[in-house]
Amino acid sequence: MAPRKPKVIVTRKLPDAVETRMRELFDAELNLDDTPMGPEALAAALKRADVLAPTITDRLDADLIAQAGPQLKLIANFGVGVDHIDVAAAHERGIFVTNTPGVLTEDTADLTMGLILASARRLVEGAGMIQAGEFHGWTPTWMLGRRLRGKRLGIIGMGRIGQALARRAAAFGLAIHYHNRKPVSPLIAEELEATYWESLDQMLARMDFVSVNCPHTPGTYHLLSARRLKLLQPHAFIVNTARGEIIDEAALAGLLERGAIAGAGLDVFEHEPAVNPKLLKLRNVVLLPHMSSATIETRLDMGEKVIINIRTWMDGHKPPDRVIPDLL
């Protein structure tokens, strides 16, 4: 008799190819209408599933995880960030948590570089002028932006995405600076010609552009606080493709509204999907709907990672992308 396929509950609609493969390999329960699950639906799924495959829209706190059935042994997250999962609570119950690292790196770095360009050169604002019929011909002083070459970029978080961004930014002539929990290896630092700043405060005060590329953890919540944001120079731009909670959004909106900094490019928001109303009214902000990893290739690769983690667990081995609480 063939072994029983594990019950895998998928919380959101995934690409067709990923869902088809999951149906072939597992007893997969799909979310065909893509309606986000509320706490009650998630609790019910945790009681029935052997494996839960959630996304960033699912808040799996300690109280919800405590309601999981004894058969639940794996939470195979569709995404890199796991700040929506109480990994420590899952670990205490003997539940593995996995994510999908690596496959988002290049596309996220591309979009981050795009936000730097769009913010500095006022691309979205210019496109809006065309759409509104406000382009009446070229003039020497209209729609002036900022040159990238020769400016300083400060990267907060020099992991995979931060390093990929550094390579792109260097091609545009930006000098690379970074703040991280610890310096990168000498080989990487030499390759990127990157300057390490142990003090985030000192780095912020000297940069022309700042990019947030670190994970959201309890230690990075409001890492860019109102106090730190005030350290930015008036001509500085800030870009965030990591997590909205890392920046004090209300304080950032106030600085932008007053013209205390030059501009911002935001793909994520503190109270997502809600966006601070002040930001929506500003012309010096480029706002995107959390789309840094939104390419067909990345979504397929993410799905493949989820499947590999589940199959490895099925075979009695530790999944390759297991998230360890002590390393968060």
Catalytic residues: 243, 272, 290
Sign of the CA dihedral running 178, 179, 184, 186 = positive
Number of alpha carbons in the 13 Å side-chain half-sphere of residue 134 = 9
d(CA 158, CA 216): 14
Q: What angle do CA 319, 322, 326 make, to 5 degrees?
A: 150
| Chain center to CA of 319 | 22
Q: How far apart are CA 18 and CA 273, in angstroms?
A: 25
CA distance 156 to 98: 24
How far apart CA 282 and CA 152 sit, in angstroms, is 25
